[in-house]
Homo-oligomer: A and B are copies of this chain.
Amino acid sequence: MKYIHCLTSLSIWRGIEGEAKDITMKIGFIGLGNLGFPVAQNLLESGHELLIYNRTASKALPLVQQGAVLCNSIEELAAQCQLVCTLVSDDAALYSISESLLNSLVPDSLHISISTILPQTAKELADAHNRNGFQYLAAPVFGRPEAARARKLNFVISGEDKVCKMADPILKDAGGMGVWDFGESITAANTVKLCGNFLIGAALEAIGESIDLAKHSGVDATKMWGMFSQTILNNPVYQLYSKIILEQKFEPAAFSMKLGLKDINLVLEQAEKANQNMPIASLLQQHMMQMVGEGKQQLDWSAVALAAND
């Protein structure tokens, strides 16, 4: 670590020097799940001082061995830094953590909220933070844990312009190959994230249907996807998931059916608010509920591809 700056001095320093490469900060990180862990690790390996908190403390130990400081409570963490990142599984968990943060953050702190949540939750949390003199940035992220480890994540952000600019280098240190600014409307980033997860979910269902049709028509589905992956659908989402689905390698889950269903439920909740029909999203919800009903909530969410002809 070369420098330790608080947020305020960071802004000043950047303003004078116009170069942030050597800046390291004291960052709090809450939520060390499948994705949170490698994101936190990236921040640590980028040279930042890292304070961590996780409901299940044992998950934090490998980071402690790398130099992170494990806190016993959210309050203990919040009292020691002006920048806190959270990456948790649902809106309820984030509301609960935010309640603790609002009671313990030091003045002018920034909360970078990476979780996939309802846009309206982002709005409510941002308002609550602002009322208490804190900043809130919506910064959901695209990428599975292996993308995090390879520093190939894509963060989508929305919030006050100066906060977006401030967060940009930090999110790059967190593994963001791309940081995409969707402007000052706080709900935008989480809406984009829901649209993206919906599109990936739709692709999973379509891949599954195509494999079922090919296989039961006497066609080598692996060969077919070998071609599609190099031609009409030559992109990482289709390449990765067609392979997982063809090989039925749904364990261990990088992103579980339970979380997939949670996201699709948010998509449909947002669709209802926006008065829009989303028939593929409704189909995904039905198929994911079917899989969860069969006790498959711990499989990778791509196992939804099995549902149509289960």
**Which residues of A are interface residues toward B (Cβ below 8 A)?**
119, 142, 154, 156, 178, 180, 182-183, 185, 187-188, 191-192, 194-196, 198-200, 202-203, 205-207, 209-210, 212-214, 216-220, 223-224, 227-228, 230-238, 267, 270-271, 273-281, 283, 308-309
Contact = CB atoms under 8 A, between A and B. Distances in A.
Contact of A195 (B203, B224, B231, B237): B224
Count identical subunits in the complex: 2
Given A277-B309, A283-B279, A283-B283, A202 B213 contact: no
Contacts of A223: 182
Residue of A192, A275, A279 ringed by the most chain B CB atoms within 10 A: A192
A222 B212 CA distance: 34
A308 to B, nearest CB: 5
A195 B213 contact: yes
Nearest to A152: B231
A185 B219 CA distance: 9
A105 to B, nearest CB: 28
A149 to B, nearest CB: 17
Given A185-B219, A192-B214, A217-B274, 5 more contacts: A154-B231, A187-B219, A191-B218, A199-B206, A232-B235
A238 B199 CA distance: 11
A187 B233 contact: no
B199 A228 contact: yes
A23 to B, nearest CB: 26
A235 to B, nearest CB: 4
B199 A270 contact: no
A188 B228 CA distance: 14
